[in-house]
Amino acid sequence: MQGGCFGGFPLILAGWSGSSDPSKGRRPLKNKKNASYVKKREAFFLLVCCGRKIMPLCRRILLVMLMPNNYILEQLRKNLSDELFCHCQGVEETAAKLALSLGYSESKARLAGLLHDCAREWPHEKLLDFAREHGIEIDPFALRCPILLHAPVGAALARAWGINDGEVLAAIRNHTLGFPGMTVLEQIVYLADKIEPGRIFSGVEELRVLVAKDFKLGLNQAAAKSIARVLHKNQSLHPLTVSFWNWLVEMR
Ligand SMILES: [Fe+2]
Ligand SMILES: [Fe+2]
């Protein structure tokens, strides 16, 4: 067992069970009371050591149970190129780290991060057709630029794949334009999408440092950069993005 996944755990077990000579290397036991005390103390250390080793294991098992099943992963792989799948995994990992730093649910952050762009590579016509069929609003912005629909369509698609957590679906739905009054999960996914390791735009490293220091300030900065890019191209801002920005400013 030694050297297995439980590391030093077997050594403690051997000491506790007494192996060949329980008194070897220890003060001799004077009476039964002492023997009972030593056993209790060893049991305590055993529990502490087991706890340290088992807790991360339990967490991993729980994560595996909560993570998308093979069906969802298969669907995701079918809908994404390798490059975009890699981006989604980057967002998943970044969202998980942000969630842990904020004391938020890591599993929800992972799920929303992984699925956020599930409809990102659909052709425009397919996005428009799906939106019409599922009663998703197609505003003039989406009509001019159907790729904007990949977020609400993605949320509906994730629901069709069996995801029914409203918070996760909202985080997928609002990751592109932003939304006033975003939940913590929506903020996490919005930000993770901007700073995942695959992003290489100018200033991204500074943004990552800022996010690590101050999540709210990092979110403001990420939104400001995203809006600045739209303005730089002389394009109009979606009303939701304007409301999102105003909300961020008021929240400072
Ligand atoms: Fe997206
Ligand atoms: Fe993305």
The owner of tokens 């100018």 is 202
How confident is the model at residue 195, as a pLDDT?
A: 98
Q: Measured between alpha carbons, how far is 241 from 228 in angstroms, rounded to an integer?
A: 12
Read out DSSP for 50-106?
Answer: HHHHHHHHHHHHHHHHHS--HHHHHHHHHHS-HHHHHHHHHHHHHHHHHHHHHT--H
3-state helix vs strand vs coil in the chain, percent to 5 = 70, 0, 30
The span from the CA of 189 to the CA of 113, in Å, is 6
Contact 180, 69 (CB under 8 A): no
CA 116 to ligand 1 center in whole angstroms: 6
Rg (CA), the chain: 25
Residue type for 68, please? P
**Which pLDDT score is estimated for 69?**
74
121: which DSSP letter? Answer: T
Per-residue pLDDT for 60 more than 70? no
Cα of 13 from ligand 1 centre, angstroms: 51
* pLDDT tens digits, 204-246: 999 999 999 999 999 999 999 999 999 999 999 999 999 999 9
What is the distance in A from the centroid of ligand 1 to the CA of 189? 10
- Model confidence at 15: pLDDT above 50: no
Ligand in closest contact with the CA of 90: 2
Q: Give the pLDDT band of residue 46 (cuts 50, 70, 90).
A: low
CA distances 207 to 112, 197, 212, 214, 234, Å, are 21, 12, 9, 10, 24
For residue 24, the 8-state DSSP code is T
Question: pTM of the predicted model, to two decimals?
Answer: 0.74
Over residues 132-168, the pLDDT tens digits come to 999 999 999 999 999 999 999 999 999 999 999 999 9
Determine the Cα–Cα distance for residues 195 and 185; give it in Å rounded to an integer: 15
Higher pLDDT among residues 3 and 205, named by residue = 205
- Of the candidates 151, 153, 113, the one whose C-alpha atom is nearest the C-alpha of residue 133 is 153
Does position 99 have pLDDT exceeding 60, yes or no?
yes
Percent of the chain with pLDDT over 70: 73
Which pLDDT score, from 0 to 100, does residue 28 have?
45
Query: In angstroms, what is the span from residue 170 Cα to ligand 2's centroid?
Result: 15
Domain range summary for the chain, segments of one domain joined by + = 9-57, 70-251
pLDDT tens profile 182-198: 999 999 999 999 999 99
- 71's tokens: 């069906």
Mean of all residue pLDDT scores within the chain: 83
70-251 is classed CATH 2.40.10.120 = no
Give the distance (Å) from ligand 1 centre to CA of residue 35: 64
Residue 88: which of 111, 67, 113, 109 has the closest Cα?
113
| Confidence at 252, pLDDT banded by 50, 70, 90 | confident
Query: What is the 246 CA–ligand 2 centroid distance (Å)?
Result: 23
Give me ligand 1 centre to Cα 65, in Å.
26
> Are residues 95 and 110 in contact, defined by beta-carbon separation less than 8 angstroms?
yes
